[in-house]
A and B are shown apart, each in its own frame.
Chain A
Amino acid sequence: MPVQCPTPEEMIHQFIDGELSKTCRKVFATMLKDDPEIKEELAAYTRLVAALKAFRRVKYPPDKLRQARTAIMERISTAA
């Protein structure tokens, strides 16, 4: 039976997310070897997904963060 794998673009996303089936991983590996464009696309998406993690590292002004925490505790004590 022929192997049914998603489109190359779909395989790029599934590969990044660790969801590509074992059979399709083999097909994808051959594609990466044979097609530099797919290899480039995979690298670009991988870097993009990594770059998005920067949102987790944003720093807030400490005084504003403190004020926000204090405001939460004040609100819950008033609401109680």
Chain B
Amino acid sequence: MSSELQVAIGRCKEGDQNAFKVIIKAFERRILAIAYSILGNSDEALEVMQETFFRVYKSIGRIKNEAGFSRFILKVATNYAIDVKRRRHGRQVSLDDEAVLPASVQIRLSDDRTKPDTILERNELWNALKAAVASLPDKQRTTLVLHDIDGLSKAEVGKIMDCPQGTVRSNLHIARKKVKAKLEEFI
């Protein structure tokens, strides 16, 4: 954890609300990426971001282990995103929304360099990738999101999900296999 972040946490505990902006800046992108990967919808991802930071602020005085702060904030975000998804009760939410993947971001699953990499093809692949991740059961999806998208280690994912590393490993491998199978036509 950066010293700037440690200072900000300390100042927040002393009641300095402006210091919370440092915490928002440090975690905003990661929370949005986790929430968006789980939900596939930007409005809901922004809701998760708001609620996560509000809950973290309310609990900040009780945080004793500042080294575990990142884990705590990511756990709140992950659990709330899963709650939002469950609250849909089967209601369909569009995966095509206002959040966009910048044109500079290359995504390619095929090694066939002769295939034209058109915008249409890229968007089709991006939507298929979102749908494939969204179709996974909660535990597999969360494991994939925290490990492969956020980049946490298996030990950290295990602590967030309250499960052994062996379970993280097996959920991750199953999740990757399922996503790959769903994207077979692009490979």
> Do A and B belong to a common assembly?
yes
Which residues of A line the B interface, CB within 8 A? 9-10, 13, 17, 43-45, 47-49, 51-61, 64-65, 68-69, 71-73, 75-77, 79-80
- Asked if residues A45 and B99 are in contact (CB atoms below 8 Å), the reply is no
Q: Is B100 an interface residue (CB 8 A)?
A: yes
Q: Are B172 and A55 in contact, with the CB atoms below 8 A? A: no
* B49: contacting residue among A17, A51, A61, A68, CB under 8 A: A68
Q: Is the pair A57, B50 in contact by a Cβ cutoff of 8 Å?
A: no
**What are the residues of chain A within 8 A of B105 when measuring CB–CB?**
54, 57
B91 to chain A minimum Cβ distance, whole angstroms, is: 21
Query: Which secondary structure dominates where chain A touches chain B?
Result: helix
Q: Does B46 contact A (CB under 8 A)?
A: yes
Instruction: State the Cβ distance, A71 to closest chain B Cβ, in Å.
Output: 6
Lowest 7 CB-CB distances: which A-B pairs, in order? A55-B37, A51-B107, A57-B105, A76-B57, A68-B46, A72-B53, A56-B33
A44 touches B176 (CB 8 A): no
Complex CA–CA separation, A57 to B126 (angstroms): 12
CA distance A64 to B33 in the complex (A): 15
B84 interface residue per 8 A CB criterion: no
B109 at the interface (CB under 8 A from A): yes
Knowing A54-B101, A56-B33, A68-B46 are in contact, say whether A76-B148 is a contact too (CB < 8 A): no
The distance in angstroms between the C-alpha atoms of A50 and B144, with both chains bound, is 12
Residues of chain B within 8 A (CB-CB) of A72 are 20, 24, 49-50, 53-54, 57
Contact A55 B42 (CB under 8 A): no
Within B1-45, which residues are at the interface with A (CB < 8 Å)?
A: 15, 17, 20-21, 24, 28-29, 32-33, 36-37, 42-43, 45
Contact between chains at A13 and B173 (CB < 8 Å):
yes
**Across the interface, do A52 and B21 meet the contact criterion of CB distance under 8 Å?**
no
Q: 29 A-B Cβ contacts within 8 A? A: A13-B169, A13-B172, A13-B176, A17-B154, A44-B109, A44-B187, A48-B109, A48-B176, A48-B183, A51-B129, A52-B129, A52-B148, A52-B149, A54-B105, A54-B129, A55-B149, A58-B32, A58-B36, A58-B42, A59-B100, A60-B32, A60-B42, A60-B45, A61-B98, A68-B49, A72-B49, A72-B50, A72-B57, A79-B57
